[in-house]
């Protein structure tokens, strides 16, 4: 199956996700993530670098134990959920007046893959943190802020565009 042929529920997948699948055969093994995923264009380079770093950390001997469960935007930042070995990291996100917070609950601490899982989780956390200052539309320097109650990470130009669109929707 070629990347062009991949679909979710009969619809073509996100073109940036298709590019990642093609560029990182060790991470994706030619398959889309198990759960519907979307790669915001402005975060493509962040995710591409993350995939390269994961390949280097795991090496060819452990990439076969790794799978991407989902890639998405949540609360204005990147989320990458993965499985390594027989266990997934469980992510819990909370939003309060103090901002968004996230915790990871590892479902298996006795596995021989635990050290690699911690290494991959650290790489994912760094990419997720970098996304909070990277415009999800263009990749420029940005801030996380609310637009009509939704947290987004946008540069000044795309924030102004989004606010203008939001005002038309009223």
Residues 77-106 have pLDDT tens digits of 999 999 998 766 655 555 556 665 655 555
- Domain of residue 120 covers 3-132
Whether residues 115 and 165 fall in one domain: no
Question: Domain total for the chain?
Answer: 2
Whether residues 109 and 36 fall in one domain: yes
Whether residues 14 and 48 fall in one domain: yes
Residue 49 has pLDDT above 90, yes or no: yes
Give the E-state strand segments of 49-157 in sequence order: 66-74, 77-84, 87-96, 99-106, 143-147, 150-154
Whether residues 28 and 67 fall in one domain: yes
Q: Give residue 166's pLDDT.
A: 82
Whether residues 128 and 155 fall in one domain: no
Whether residues 127 and 160 fall in one domain: no
Whether residues 66 and 106 fall in one domain: yes
Q: Give residue 1's pLDDT.
A: 40
Global pTM reads 0.82
Q: Give residue 113's pLDDT.
A: 80
Whether residues 52 and 70 fall in one domain: yes
- CA nearest 75: which of 24, 34, 128, 13? 128
- State both tokens at 146: 């609310």
- State both tokens at 134: 């990277």
């Amino acid at each position: 199956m070629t990347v062009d042929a991949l679909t979710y529920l009969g619809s073509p997948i996100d073109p940036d996700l298709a590019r990642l699948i093609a560029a990182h055969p060790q991470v994706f093994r030619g398959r889309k993530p198990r759960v519907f995923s979307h790669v915001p264009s402005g975060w493509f380079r962040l995710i591409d670098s993350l995939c390269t770093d994961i390949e280097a950390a795991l090496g060819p001997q452990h990439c076969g134990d790794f799978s991407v469960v989902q890639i998405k935007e949540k609360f204005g930042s990147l989320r990458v959920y993965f499985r390594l070995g027989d266990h997934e990291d469980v992510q819990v996100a909370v939003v309060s007046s103090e901002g968004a917070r996230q915790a990871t609950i590892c479902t298996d601490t006795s596995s021989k893959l635990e050290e690699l899982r911690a290494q991959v989780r650290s790489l994912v956390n760094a990419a997720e943190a970098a996304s909070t200052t990277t415009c999800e539309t263009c990749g420029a320097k940005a801030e996380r802020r609310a637009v009509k109650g939704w947290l987004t990470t946008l540069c000044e130009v795309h924030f102004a565009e989004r606010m203008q669109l939001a005002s038309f929707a009223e």
